[in-house]
């Protein structure tokens, strides 16, 4: 029987759940606080320029990838451009290129460290083999940690004899495996991996869960994509699909309260409107959930969710820049990481994404828009003085590092603005601009992750703080889990 479902927040997780359930025939209402869809994967416009707010690099769009399966189910094809050269990774002593082809990629890395050839080959052989085993779980996509008999059964049903090879690695970090391969002292190699991991796993090789790191280091080989216009197209297509399937999408509706009414729920927004539903999916940041619920319900939330709601993650400083490409010796490449060698955060490591020349959805001919982001600790932004200093220092650090790589970059800038933590809080509702989800360390990944089941019947959570974690793929997967639990079927 169709259910009335309320989804709070039109980030990638909420939109995925809402669109799937509407397509399934459920009556879905999606409430979004801002005037834009997509949250961290949304966009904003300035004059003739369109800027992706955060996410820019498309993954999971290859055949069988998470987003591809969702768009196929929704019958919403998305124009994409596969990348053979995924990104440049600029480090102080080496400039690497991430190539889609696994063999070419490993050969290119080895060309920087010829003395370590056999060790690096053995390391990548293991990484790719591990990732290919983990990937066999992507089709059934079991939810972790299992909370119900059905979820245990789904997990058991997804397990094959080959998965026994993963068992010894469950409590290992990537650092453990690097040591085993005799690569932990190869600092430049390790920093290159750290740069990739901080952007996808929110932590480096020392702490990251080995199984998830293997997937993160392998995923671009499966497919990395430039999406013309930007990843906001995901949100746009899922929003369209929701409405075409009878769903209701209301922007500028901040949900402030959630209460039980009979077997269902009543939500109230900041304007005093009330919404009744059989089930609710919260894609608003989990930090806000305890404040929405009455205390007696808050106490019923599962412990990891309750603790996660108090937890801190990285915040970010983002630069949004438009450049006149004619002033540069060549157009900017779409994706580039730059590390100055002073750590993986605070402007010493950052990710720089530019629109492809000719992507007129983002910038008129002759111009490119650029989104640049670095990780930062919230504690560097907690007084007005620190806030102003951090914004200035980190911006300057990144601009100087870019200018070193691309002489004339500053002169080519025609628009520059910053997205500091408070701007992120305003745009996405994330307290202190906590973005990216929890670092995928052993104590917060996989069986220790936050389940999409809140612990209260009919109340679910999704987004990058929830299993399987960050990135648009992780957020979408948790949305799929929430939708499946409500629909009591697999959907995709």
Ligand X SMILES: Cc1cc2nc3c(=O)[nH]c(=O)nc-3n(C[C@H](O)[C@H](O)[C@H](O)COP(=O)(O)OP(=O)(O)OC[C@H]3O[C@@H](n4cnc5c(N)ncnc54)[C@H](O)[C@@H]3O)c2cc1C
**Coil vs helix vs strand at 416:** strand
Residue 245 CB, nearest approach to ligand X (Å): 20
DSSP 331: P
- Exactly one of 59, 237, 286, 420 binds ligand X (CB under 6 A); that residue is 59
- Exactly one of 40, 398, 459, 486 binds ligand X (CB under 6 A); that residue is 40
Using CA atoms, how far apart are residues 469 and 450, in angstroms rounded to an integer?
9
Q: Which of residues 212-271 bind ligand X (CB under 6 A)?
A: 254-255
User: How many Cβ atoms are within 10 Å of 356's Cβ, its own excluded?
Assistant: 15
Answer for the pair 9, 16: CB distance below 8 angstroms, yes or no: no
CB nearest ligand X: which residue? 11
Of 373 and 444, the one with the shorter C-beta distance to ligand X is 373
Would you call 483 exposed, middle or buried from its count of C-beta atoms within 10 A (0-12, 13-18, 19+)?
A: buried
Q: Phi/psi of residue 173, each to 5°?
A: -100, 170
Residue 10 lies near ligand X (rule: CB under 6 A): yes
Residue 12 CB, nearest approach to ligand X (Å): 4
Residue 69 CB, nearest approach to ligand X (Å): 16
Residue 107 CB, nearest approach to ligand X (Å): 26
Site map 300..329 versus ligand X, x via CB under 6 A: ----------------x-x-----------
Of 218 and 464, the one with the shorter C-beta distance to ligand X is 464
Kind and range of the H or E element at 184?
none
Around 105, how many Cα atoms within 13 Å sit in the side-chain half-sphere?
A: 21
Using CA atoms, how far apart are residues 36 and 11, in angstroms rounded to an integer?
10
- Exactly one of 471, 485, 486, 492 binds ligand X (CB under 6 A); that residue is 471
Q: Which residue has the tokens 């996410």?
A: 55
Residue 482 CB, nearest approach to ligand X (Å): 11
- Exactly one of 7, 41, 178, 486 binds ligand X (CB under 6 A); that residue is 41
Answer for the pair 313, 202: CB distance below 8 angstroms, yes or no: yes
- Exactly one of 3, 13, 321, 367 binds ligand X (CB under 6 A); that residue is 13
Using CA atoms, how far apart are residues 258 and 333, in angstroms rounded to an integer?
46
- Exactly one of 3, 54, 98, 395 binds ligand X (CB under 6 A); that residue is 54
Site map 266..305 versus ligand X, x via CB under 6 A: -----------------xxx--x-----------------
Q: Which of residues 401-460 bind ligand X (CB under 6 A)?
A: 428-430, 435-437
**Coil vs helix vs strand at 435:** coil
Using CA atoms, how far apart are residues 437 and 463, in angstroms rounded to an integer?
8
Of 86 and 288, the one with the shorter C-beta distance to ligand X is 288
Residue 369 lies near ligand X (rule: CB under 6 A): no
Which residues are CB-neighbours of 409 under 8 A, at least 6 positions away? 323, 328, 399, 402, 403
Q: What size, in residues, is the chain? A: 492
Query: What are the percentages of helix, strand and coil residues in the chain, rounded to 5?
Result: 40, 20, 35
Under the rule (CB under 6 A), what is the footprint of ligand X?
8-14, 31-34, 39-41, 54-57, 59, 254-255, 283-285, 288, 316, 318, 373, 428-430, 435-437, 463-464, 470-472, 475
């Amino acid at each position: 029987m169709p259910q009335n479902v309320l989804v709070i927040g039109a980030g990638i997780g909420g939109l995925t759940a809402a669109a799937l359930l509407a397509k399934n025939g459920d009556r879905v209402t999606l409430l979004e606080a801002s005037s834009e869809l997509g949250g961290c994967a949304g966009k904003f416009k300035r004059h003739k320029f369109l800027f992706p707010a955060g996410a820019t690099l498309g993954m999971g769009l290859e055949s069988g990838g998470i987003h591809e399966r969702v768009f196929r189910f929704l019958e919403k094809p998305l124009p994409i451009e596969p990348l053979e050269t995924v990104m440049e990774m600029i480090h102080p002593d080496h400039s690497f290129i991430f190539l889609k082809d696994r063999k070419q990629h490993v050969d290119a890395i080895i060309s920087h460290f010829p003395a370590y050839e056999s060790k690096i080959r053995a390391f990548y052989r293991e990484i790719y083999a591990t990732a290919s085993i983990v990937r066999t779980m992507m089709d059934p996509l079991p939810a972790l940690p299992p909370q119900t008999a059905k979820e245990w059964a789904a997990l058991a049903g997804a397990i094959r004899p080959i998965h026994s090879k993963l068992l010894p690695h469950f409590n290992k970090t990537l650092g453990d495996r690097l040591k085993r391969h005799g690569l932990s002292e190869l600092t430049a190699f390790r920093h290159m991996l750290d740069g990739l991991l901080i952007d996808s796993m929110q932590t480096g090789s020392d702490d990251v869960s080995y199984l998830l790191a293997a997937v993160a280091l392998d995923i671009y080989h499966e497919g990395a994509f430039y999406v013309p216009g930007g990843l906001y197209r995901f949100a746009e297509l899922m929003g369209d699909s929701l409405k075409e399937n009878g769903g209701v999408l209301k922007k500028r509706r901040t949900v402030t309260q959630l209460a039980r009414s009979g077997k269902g729920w009543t939500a109230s927004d900041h304007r005093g409107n009330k919404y009744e539903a059989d089930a609710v999916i919260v894609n608003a940041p989990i930090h806000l959930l305890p404040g929405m619920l009455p205390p007696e319900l808050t106490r019923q939330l599962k412990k990891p969710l309750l603790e996660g709601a108090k937890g801190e993650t990285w915040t970010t400083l983002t630069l949004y820049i438009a450049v006149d490409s004619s002033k540069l010796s060549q157009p900017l490449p779409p994706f580039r990481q730059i590390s100055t060698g002073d750590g993986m955060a605070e402007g010493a490591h950052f990710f720089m994404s530019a629109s492809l020349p000719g992507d007129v959805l983002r910038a008129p001919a002759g111009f490119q828009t650029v989104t640049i982001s670095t990780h930062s600790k919230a504690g560097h932004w907690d007084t007005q003085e620190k806030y102003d200093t951090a914004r200035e220092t980190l911006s300057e650090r990144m601009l100087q590092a870019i200018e070193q790589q691309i002489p004339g970059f500053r002169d080519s800038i025609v628009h520059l603005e910053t997205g500091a933590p408070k701007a992120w809080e305003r745009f996405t509702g994330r307290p202190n601009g906590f973005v990216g989800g929890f670092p995928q360390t052993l104590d917060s990944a996989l069986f220790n992750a936050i389940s999409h089941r809140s612990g209260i019947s009919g109340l679910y959570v999704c987004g990058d703080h929830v299993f399987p974690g960050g990135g648009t793929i992780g957020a979408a997967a948790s949305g799929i889990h929430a939708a499946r639990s409500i629909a009591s079927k697999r959907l995709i």
